[in-house]
Structure 1
Amino acid sequence: MPTAVIDGISTRYEVAGSGPPLLMFSPGGFDSSLEGWRETGIYRRLRLLDRLTERYTCITFDRRESGQSGGRLERISWADYAAQGVGLLDHLGFERAHLMGGCVGCSTAAVLAVARPERVLSMVLYSPAGGVKYRMKQHARFLRHLAHAEEYGTAGVAELARSTGSGFTADPRVGPWAGVIRRDEAFAERYVRTDPERYRVMVTGMARLLFDRDTVPGPEPEDLLTLDVPALVVPGQDDSHAPSAARYLEECLPLAEYWNVPVTEQTETSAPARVLEFLAGTGE
């Protein structure tokens, strides 16, 4: 698959289908690779990507520090994730695009829409990640990683990352940069040399600022309340995708449509049809 260097970070991406551009922010938490649209959770069952490529140019990619994309050792923010998406649109020559987020990808899509509304035709926010249990789970994940790093050092973290194929979502001990450590020896060497206190502060700040609320993290509600971008919100229903998170987006977005259908009734037939219906009504 092709790659693009965006803000100094290699990004693996794929373009499929034809029609207006649809930039898709992958599900999968800290392992948000483009395969998530076919292999992760509900998306495997719904086959959304297969249907969407019939009418849209679907742009999928590995989020930075995920899949085969690169990364950088820094306190990562939602703005950094959104900047990757804007950079990919620039690289491909698309001035405007529809956005779609799955799971945690909803946060990045919404942050991008707030920051660059002139680049966004509409957005589909499918099963947004959020809720009090989600926040608690994310903070616990970072704490588990920091405990391991404190006991074994960054060298021990790097050694563990190289010895397993698990990502941060599956095994918090390996940390958010595990994939980059495995693929990039120069990055791994810099990682191992990082001052322990500097590393602790950076990771602590990342956890606190990425997951700072008991609903959908990322965009501020006051910014969403003034955002004139059409949005379709589709609820999830588990500890990481609380229905309250989807209702929050419905409440905050002035031009939101809420698909009030339980997850069990979101099928391979009904879900792609509803998404396509929404996109068709928002212009090209």
Structure 2
Amino acid sequence: MPTVMIDGIETHYELRGEGPPLLMFAPGGFDARIEKWSDLGVYKRIKLLDHLPQHYTCILFDRRENGRSGGRVEKVTWDHFVIQAAGLLDHLGYEKAHLIGGCMGCCPVTTFAVRHPERVLSMILYFPVGGAAYRINGHQRFARHLAFVEENGLQAVVDLVNSHDRNFSSDPRGGPWGDPIRRSDDFASTYAAMDVQRYMLTVTAMVRGMIDRDTAPGAEPEELMTLDIPTLIVPGSDGAHATSAARYLQECLSGSDYWDVPPEGQTEDTAPARLLDFLKAQA
């Protein structure tokens, strides 16, 4: 599988199909791997990868700290994911691309659009995360990790994540760097040797910056309101993907196209066709 070094971090990616570039920010929260487009929730049902590659060059990648991509312990922000995505486009020789984000992948999509509007042909925001329950659960997940670190130390985190294959969502004690720890002994050794108090401050700053509101995280609303990029918003309706978060993005993104269909109406028969109709209209 191809990889490229971006900002000093290895990025694993795949290309599927032919046509205009479609950069795909994977769903899955802090488990954003290529496979999530095929085996997670609504995405498993609507089978986008059976349809989109017939018309577009789908650029798939494991987000940093996830899957086969590398990571680095730092105060990770949405901008760090933008750096990775923009670097991947540069590596592949694409000046512009359509962007699609699923779940938490919507946050770096909107941030990318704010930082590089000249490079974005259109945006699709599918099941954007957000809502009060999402913020509460996200902070609780990080709090469980920090409590485990404070009580047991960082070597215990390494031992824990190497004892199973569960991700940050299913076992928050392991924290957001579990995949890099498993993949690299050097990373694991460096991680275990870090100063615990400095590490905890870094993680605290990270979660406060990334999950900072009771609606859709990512770019600031005032920034979104300056954009003039064709956008399709597809709402979710659960504790992680509040419909109110999708409506918030509609409010902030003037002229956006809101597909007002509940999740149960989003099927393989309806969703890929709706997305393709939107993308083709931007040609």
- TM-score normalised by structure 2 residue count: 0.99
Question: Which residue of structure 2 aligns with residue 227 of structure 1?
Answer: 227
Question: Which residue of structure 1 aligns with residue 247 of structure 2?
Answer: 247
Q: Once the 2 structures are TM-superposed, how far is the Cα of residue 73 of structure 1 from its aligned partner? A: 0.9
The residue correspondences of 1:18-33 to structure 2 (distance < 5 A) are: 18-33=18-33
Structure 2 residue 68 is the aligned partner of structure 1 residue 68:
yes
Output the CA distance in 2 between the equivalents of 1:235 and 1:100: 14
Question: Which residue of structure 2 aligns with residue 206 of structure 1?
Answer: 206
Q: For residues 67-100 of structure 1, what are the alpha-carbon distances to aligned partners after superposition, in whole Å with 9 as ceiling and x for unaligned?
A: 1100001110000011111010001010000000
Question: Which residue of structure 1 aligns with residue 136 of structure 2?
Answer: 136
Output the CA distance in 2 between the equivalents of 1:114 and 1:52: 25
Secondary structure, aligned partner of 1:227: coil
Question: Which residue of structure 2 aligns with residue 261 of structure 1?
Answer: 261
The alignment of Structure 1 onto Structure 2 pairs a total of residues equal to 283
Which runs of 5 or more residues in structure 2 are unaligned?
A: none
Question: Which residue of structure 1 aligns with residue 154 of structure 2?
Answer: 154
Output the CA distance in 2 between the equivalents of 1:186 and 1:153: 18
How many percent identity over aligned positions? 56
Q: Once the 2 structures are TM-superposed, how far is the Cα of residue 220 of structure 1 from its aligned partner? A: 0.2
Q: Once the 2 structures are TM-superposed, how far is the Cα of residue 137 of structure 1 from its aligned partner? A: 0.5
Output the CA distance in 1 between the equivalents of 2:279 and 2:261: 18
Secondary structure, aligned partner of 2:153: helix
Q: Once the 2 structures are TM-superposed, how far is the Cα of residue 233 of structure 1 from its aligned partner? A: 0.2
Question: Which residue of structure 2 aligns with residue 105 of structure 1?
Answer: 105
Secondary structure, aligned partner of 1:64: coil
- TM-score normalised by structure 1 residue count: 0.99
Output the CA distance in 2 between the equivalents of 1:258 and 1:223: 19
Question: Which residue of structure 1 aligns with residue 79 of structure 2?
Answer: 79
Amino acid at match of 1:245: A
Output the CA distance in 1 between the equivalents of 2:24 and 2:126: 11
Output the CA distance in 2 between the equivalents of 1:134 and 1:146: 18
Question: Which residue of structure 2 aligns with residue 90 of structure 1?
Answer: 90
Q: Once the 2 structures are TM-superposed, how far is the Cα of residue 255 of structure 1 from its aligned partner? A: 2.8
Output the CA distance in 2 between the equivalents of 1:65 and 1:79: 14
Secondary structure, aligned partner of 1:53: helix
The residue correspondences of 1:182-201 to structure 2 (distance < 5 A) are: 182-201=182-201
Question: Which residue of structure 2 aligns with residue 236 of structure 1?
Answer: 236
Q: Once the 2 structures are TM-superposed, how far is the Cα of residue 254 of structure 1 from its aligned partner? A: 1.1
Q: Which runs of 4+ in 1 moved over 6 A?
A: none
Amino acid at match of 1:144: R
Amino acid at match of 2:59: I
Amino acid at match of 1:15: L
Output the CA distance in 1 between the equivalents of 2:72 and 2:200: 16
Amino acid at match of 2:193: R
Amino acid at match of 2:207: A
Amino acid at match of 2:213: R
Q: Once the 2 structures are TM-superposed, how far is the Cα of residue 186 of structure 1 from its aligned partner? A: 1.0
Which runs of 5 or more residues in structure 1 are unaligned?
A: none
Amino acid at match of 1:176: P
Output the CA distance in 1 between the equivalents of 2:213 and 2:120: 25
Structure 2 residue 4 is the aligned partner of structure 1 residue 4:
yes
Output the CA distance in 1 between the equivalents of 2:255 and 2:192: 47
Structure 2 residue 28 is the aligned partner of structure 1 residue 35:
no
Secondary structure, aligned partner of 2:54: coil
Q: For residues 157-192 of structure 1, what are the alpha-carbon distances to aligned partners after superposition, in whole Å with 9 as ceiling and x for unaligned?
A: 111011111111111000000110111111111101
Amino acid at match of 2:104: V
Q: For residues 249-278 of structure 1, what are the alpha-carbon distances to aligned partners after superposition, in whole Å with 9 as ceiling and x for unaligned?
A: 000001300000011111101100000000
Output the CA distance in 2 between the equivalents of 1:266 and 1:200: 41
